Amino acid sequence: MECYQCQGIEMQFDRKAAAAELRRVRTRGPAPTTRALVDALKTEDLEGTSLLDIGGGVGVIQFELLESGVVSATGVEASSAFIGAAKEEAVRRGYSGRVEYRHGDFVQLAPEIAPADIVTLDRVVCCYPDMAALVALSAARARGLYGVVYPRDTWWNRAALAILNFARRLRRSPFRVFVHSTRAVDALIRRHGLEQNYYRQTLVWQVVVYARPLWRTSGTAPQE
């Protein structure tokens, strides 16, 4: 990731933002699109599986799926404050021994990160300038399921994010958000042998789950 975006993520998702998000999750649970992604994944057989949660924030997807059969999770997060909040919540929920955290840019860390049965990216694609690298490297690490939440490729999203980015530029914030081509994202994921089996959209977001054909038909997760 370009340095300005790394710095921007640390500034945008600071300790204050992490504490606010943790309070919101504890009182209201996952955001609606996160809940939709989690519920779609829970329709699959998750028993004994592993999770790679990229840009997982305070860890809500990790904790929801650890309660539903996932045995281990790896969280990769570019915000050190959000990793701290996720670790705090993992201890509170009794999951600290089942989650490993990595701080940094997933694309740079990818050679060191093992594949997992489930890979999730919840509102992460829109925070990354090099969509092709992020999607290709993450899809390649999904042995079974791949879940992603990202903005719809619409004129109103493009207009709204252009205004937000202009406002951040005026405030001298290096953080930027992006609307990437839905067709391009979908093509990259399918190129890695994954097929779409769930789709839902709101005015702003699209929630999509892909699966490898015949995943878990033998009763065990595919191995690398």
Report yes or no on 81 lying in a domain: yes
Contact (Cβ atoms closer than 8 angstroms) between residue 107 and residue 39: no
Alpha helices in the chain (DSSP H): 3-12, 15-28, 32-42, 60-66, 80-93, 106-109, 131-140, 155-170, 182-191
Could you tell me the pLDDT band of residue 6, with boundaries at 50, 70 and 90? Answer: confident
For residue 11, the model assigns a pLDDT of 87
The one-letter amino acid code at 87 reads: K
Which domain, by its residues, includes 119? 3-211
For residue 115, the model assigns a pLDDT of 97
Domain containing residue 59: CATH number: 3.40.50.150
Could you tell me the pLDDT band of residue 222, with boundaries at 50, 70 and 90? Answer: very low
Q: What count of other Cβ atoms lies within 10 Å of the Cβ of residue 125?
A: 21
Q: What is the mean pLDDT of the chain?
A: 93
Report yes or no on 222 lying in a domain: no
Report yes or no on 219 lying in a domain: no
For residue 95, the model assigns a pLDDT of 95
What single-letter DSSP state applies at residue 125? G
Report yes or no on 107 lying in a domain: yes
Domain count, the chain: 1
Q: What dihedral do alpha carbons 120, 124, 126, 128 form, nearest 10°?
A: -120
Sign of the C-alpha dihedral computed for residues 36, 48, 68 and 90 taken in this order:
negative
CA nearest 119: which of 104, 94, 136, 132? 136
Report yes or no on 223 lying in a domain: no
Report yes or no on 38 lying in a domain: yes
For residue 3, the model assigns a pLDDT of 59
pLDDT tens digits, one per residue of 173-213: 899 999 999 999 999 999 999 999 999 999 999 999 999 99
Higher pLDDT, 220 or 165: 165
Higher pLDDT, 216 or 157: 157
Measured CA angle at 82 (ends 77, 83), to 5 deg: 60
For residue 10, the model assigns a pLDDT of 87
For residue 132, the model assigns a pLDDT of 97
CA nearest 64: which of 29, 116, 23? 29
C-alpha span between 114 and 206 (Å, rounded): 27
Helix (H) or strand (E) holding 49: none
C-alpha span between 120 and 84 (Å, rounded): 20
Q: What is the mean pLDDT of residues 1-19?
A: 82
For residue 1, the model assigns a pLDDT of 57
Report yes or no on 91 lying in a domain: yes
pTM attached to this predicted model: 0.93
Higher pLDDT, 214 or 213: 213
